[in-house]
């Protein structure tokens, strides 16, 4: 089928206004958020319901047109944009944005893939519940993309990754058939847990169109603290002590280097240093509980005092208002844009090895690039460090920088992608780090579900 006939049939499925071909309309869909990857495709199709997705996928399977599923296009590894090889089209799911059901007694919410994460959070809050997934891009990222990349975010310490928030899925398979696995069950021991195949698969095995997500009781009390430390080792020690004294109340524990804070202060109008004097390292801690806020604050203050007496922290500011807590979080959330152009790494090691990773990689980079500036921050509570290096001048030497950082990660038994996925960015690099048998098993799954390789080609494998 020629391109014009293909576009006409797509238009008959989703409606002519929702097949985009004009470069002015398609440009935002063809370039990733960091503007590292950009390639044209034949068109963008914007279906409004699962049946339309199924028909589009069936048409593409018949005509041999590859499909690039896309949510909010906020990914950082080039996984949601065309590869530029062969016939491709972008399947944008933003019109599929309905909340299908909320079952407060079962603590579940059923949503379509195009729902913006903040929309799901608000729907849960309106029902008196909490949807725990929280990311810096939550105002624009979509649930389908979150699940396809197994997003992490700030609450992994307490609630787990996106994978842990899912009870059921609806998926359009590469041949256009629809698997309806929208079950809100916590116990279902009837064979393979098929939903796990599609979570974190980056759209290479099928298109997630809807999900049943876990909800949690909404906390009635919160406390936020900005804490100064002398080193990442102290941060890990502090995490252990706070969890020992406060248990699961610790929901987020974010590491921030002084370099990151200074970048934010220079980049964000109105941003202010939470403490009077500068310190080399900080953690931002969020705690949540049921009961009265005053009682939680008392417990937090007592615990911070205990840690201070033992030399674990240098100084601390406990937010005195919701506005001050938001100001603390604004610093953390502004870090990625405050140092936008450099060599970025999303890596993970065991929590206990985070300090060694920072020390080892930092020393090796200093030897290779004397005076290099490192921006280190991330979710130290789950071992996920964003280790960003240098400025725009170092981007041309990315392979050298990557080798140093990834070798340090590998030596400590870590992962080169903690929460951003592989996409195009790390597709080749992963071959150096995964066991050949593991890669072969992944390829076997890919061949079984997508034998023609039409689902998000050029990504992950």
* Average confidence (pLDDT) over 84-99: 96
SS3 state at 5 = helix
Confidence of residue 220 (pLDDT cuts 50, 70, 90): very high
328-380 pLDDT per residue, tens: 999 999 999 998 889 999 999 999 999 999 999 999 999 999 999 999 999 99
pLDDT at 2 over 90: no
364-374 pLDDT per residue, tens: 999 999 999 99
* Average confidence (pLDDT) over 18-43: 94
| pLDDT of the residue at 231 | 97
| pLDDT of the residue at 76 | 87
| pLDDT of the residue at 134 | 95
* Average confidence (pLDDT) over 144-173: 96
| pLDDT of the residue at 35 | 87
309: left (phi over 0), alpha (psi -120 to 50) or beta: alpha
Q: Which two tokens stand for residue 158?
A: 């307490």
Q: Which two tokens stand for residue 446?
A: 């890919």
285-315 pLDDT per residue, tens: 999 999 999 999 999 999 999 999 999 999 9
Work out the mean pLDDT of the chain and round it to a whole number. Answer: 96
Report the C-alpha gap between 415 and 396 in whole angstroms: 23
The CA radius of gyration of the chain, in Å to the nearest whole number, is 23
265-291 pLDDT per residue, tens: 999 999 999 999 999 999 999 999 999
Domains and CATH numbers, the chain: 99-217 (3.30.465.10), 221-338 (3.30.70.2190), 346-426 (3.30.70.2740)
Model's pTM, two decimal places? Answer: 0.93
* Average confidence (pLDDT) over 38-55: 97
Confidence of residue 94 (pLDDT cuts 50, 70, 90): very high
Closest CA relative to residue 92, chosen from 160, 156, 144, 155: 144
pLDDT at 62 over 90: yes
Contact present, 280 and 256 (Cβ < 8 Å): no
Report the C-alpha gap between 152 and 384 in whole angstroms: 9
pLDDT at 320 over 90: yes
CA dihedral 171, 175, 176, 178 (to 10 degrees): -40
CA dihedral 189, 193, 194, 199 (to 10 degrees): 150
Confidence of residue 417 (pLDDT cuts 50, 70, 90): very high
- The stretches of 310-369 forming alpha helices (DSSP H) are 322-338, 354-368
| pLDDT of the residue at 415 | 96
pLDDT at 250 over 80: yes
The partner residues of 224 in beta bridges, in order of sequence, read: 286
At 103, which helix (H) or strand (E)? strand 99-103
Exposure string (b/e) for 417-449, b if CB count within 10 Å is 16 or more? bbbbbbbbbbbebbeebeeeeeeeebeeebeeb
Residues in Cβ contact with 168 at an 8 Å cutoff, skipping those fewer than 6 apart: 110, 181, 182, 183, 184, 185, 195, 211, 212
| pLDDT of the residue at 34 | 84
pLDDT at 1 over 80: no
Share of the chain above pLDDT 70, in %: 100
At 212, which helix (H) or strand (E)? strand 207-214
Confidence of residue 66 (pLDDT cuts 50, 70, 90): very high
| pLDDT of the residue at 32 | 93
| pLDDT of the residue at 340 | 85
Residues in Cβ contact with 309 at an 8 Å cutoff, skipping those fewer than 6 apart: none
């Amino acid at each position: 089928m020629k391109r014009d006939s293909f576009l006409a049939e797509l238009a008959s499925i989703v409606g002519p206004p929702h097949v985009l071909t004009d470069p002015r309309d398609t440009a935002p869909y063809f370039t990733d958020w960091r503007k590292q990857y950009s390639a044209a495709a034949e068109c963008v199709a914007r279906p409004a319901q699962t049946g339309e997705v199924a028909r589009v996928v069936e048409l593409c399977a018949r005509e041999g047109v590859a499909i690039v599923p896309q949510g909010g296009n906020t990914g950082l590894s080039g996984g949601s944009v065309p590869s530029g090889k062969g016939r491709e089209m972008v399947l944008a799911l933003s019109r599929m944005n309905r909340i299908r059901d909320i079952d407060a007694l079962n603590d579940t919410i059923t949503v379509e893939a195009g729902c913006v994460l903040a929309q799901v959070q608000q729907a849960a809050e309106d029902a008196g519940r909490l949807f725990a997934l929280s990311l810096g891009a939550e105002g624009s990222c979509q649930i389908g993309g979150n699940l396809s990349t197994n997003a992490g975010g700030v609450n992994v310490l307490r609630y787990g990754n996106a994978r842990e928030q899912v009870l059921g899925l609806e998926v359009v398979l590469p041949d256009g058939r629809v698997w309806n696995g929208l079950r809100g069950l916590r116990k279902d021991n009837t064979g393979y847990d098929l939903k796990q195949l599609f979570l974190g698969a980056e759209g290479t095995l099928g298109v997630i169109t809807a999900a049943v997500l876990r909800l949690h009781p909404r906390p009635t009390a919160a406390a936020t603290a900005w804490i100064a430390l002398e080193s990442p080792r102290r941060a890990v020690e502090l995490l252990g002590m706070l969890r020992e004294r406060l248990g699961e109340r610790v929901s987020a524990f974010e590491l921030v280097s002084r370099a990151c804070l200074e970048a934010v202060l220079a980049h964000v109008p109105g941003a202010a240093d939470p403490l009077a004097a500068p310190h080399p390292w900080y953690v931002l801690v969020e705690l949540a509980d049921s009961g009265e806020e005053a009682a939680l604050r008392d417990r937090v203050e007592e615990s911070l005092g205990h840690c201070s007496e033992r030399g674990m922290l240098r100084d601390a500011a406990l937010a005195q208002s919701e506005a001050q807590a938001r100001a603390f979080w604004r610093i953390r959330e502004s870090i990625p844009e405050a140092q936008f152009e450099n060599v970025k790494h999303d890596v993970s090691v065991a929590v206990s090895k985070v300090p060694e990773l920072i020390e080892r990689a930092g020393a090796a980079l200093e030897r290779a690039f004397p005076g290099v500036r490192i921006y280190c921050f991330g979710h130290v509570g789950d071992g996920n460090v964003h280790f960003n290096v240098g400025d725009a001048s170092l981007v041309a030497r990315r392979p050298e920088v990557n080798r140093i950082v990834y070798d340090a990660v590998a030596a400590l038994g870590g992962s080169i992608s903690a929460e951003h996925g592989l996409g195009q960015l790390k597709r080749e690099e992963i071959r150096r780090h995964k066991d050949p048998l593991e890669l072969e098993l992944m390829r076997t799954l890919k061949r079984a579900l997508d034998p023609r390789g039409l689902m998000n080609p050029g990504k992950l494998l």
